[in-house]
C-alpha cells in the first residue's frame, strides 16, 4: 500500500490535519503519523481532533513514503525544536517527492533550510520568516514550486488536497 507521512505535534490546526488525512485515506493511502514521541496522544488547538503518534522521525526513511504533509497551527513551531523531525523534513524535500505544508507548516520548511530560491505561500504572519530565509512569498490559495506544495489557511484545503493528490503517483486499480 502507498504511504504518506504526516509530521504532527500538539496544537495542530484541527482541519489542516483532518481534511488532508481523510482525503488521502479515501484515495487509498496509508497514513503514518510521525512525531517526537511514539504513542503520544496529540490534540488539535481547537480541541476537535486528536491523533496518536505512530513513530518518531529517527526511525523513518523518506524512501518509504510517497509524500509528506505538514499541517499548520502551532505544531510546526513545536516540531522545529526536534532535530530528527527537521532532518527528516530536509531529507524528504531533497528526495524530490511531494512535501505539502499549509498555514504555519512552512515554518518547518524554513528550519529544514529548503525554501531558499523557492516560491511559497503561508499564513500571512509567516511571510517575513519565509522571505528572510530566501523564499519568494505570494498570496495564493495554493502554490506549487517543484515538489513543494503550500497553502495559506483552512479555507484553502480543497485546493491544497487536490494539488497534493495530483502530484502523487497514479495508483493502480
Catalytic residues: 103
Q: How far apart are CA 5 and CA 68, in angstroms?
A: 5
97 φ, ψ to 5°?
-75, 160
Angle among Cα 32, 38, 40 to the nearest 5 degrees reads 105
Please state, as a whole number, how many other Cβ atoms lie within 10 Å of the Cβ of residue 128: 10
H/E segment holding residue 96: none
And the C-alpha cell for 54? 505512530
Indicate the SS3 state at residue 98. Answer: coil
And the C-alpha cell for 87? 532532518
**In this structure, what is the dihedral angle of CA atoms 65, 95, 137, 80, given to the nearest 10 degrees?**
70
For residue 73, with 0-12 CB atoms within 10 Å meaning exposed, 13-18 middle and 19 or more buried, which class applies?
A: buried
Amino acid at each position: 500500500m502507498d504511504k504518506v507521512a504526516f509530521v504532527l505535534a500538539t496544537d495542530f490546526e484541527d482541519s489542516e490535519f483532518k481534511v488532508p488525512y481523510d482525503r488521502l485515506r479515501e484515495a487509498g493511502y496509508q497514513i503514518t503519523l510521525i512525531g517526537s514521541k511514539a504513542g503520544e496522544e496529540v490534540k488539535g488547538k481547537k480541541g476537535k481532533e486528536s491523533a496518536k503518534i505512530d513513530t518518531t522521525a529517527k526511525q523513518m526513511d523518506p524512501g518509504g513514503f510517497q509524500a509528506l504533509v505538514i499541517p499548520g497551527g502551532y505544531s510546526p513551531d513545536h516540531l522545529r525544536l526536534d532535530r530528527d523531525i527537521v532532518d527528516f523534513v530536509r531529507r524528504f524535500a531533497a528526495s524530490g517527492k511531494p512535501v505539502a505544508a499549509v498555514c504555519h507548516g512552512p515554518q518547518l520548511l524554513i528550519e529544514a533550510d529548503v525554501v531558499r530560491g523557492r516560491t511559497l505561500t503561508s499564513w500571512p504572519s509567516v511571510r517575513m520568516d519565509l522571505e528572510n530565509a530566501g523564499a519568494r512569498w505570494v498570496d495564493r490559495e495554493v502554490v506549487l514550486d517543484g515538489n513543494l506544495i503550500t497553502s495559506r489557511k483552512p479555507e484553502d484545503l480543497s485546493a491544497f488536497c487536490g494539488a497534493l493528490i495530483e502530484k502523487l503517483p497514479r495508483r493502480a486499480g
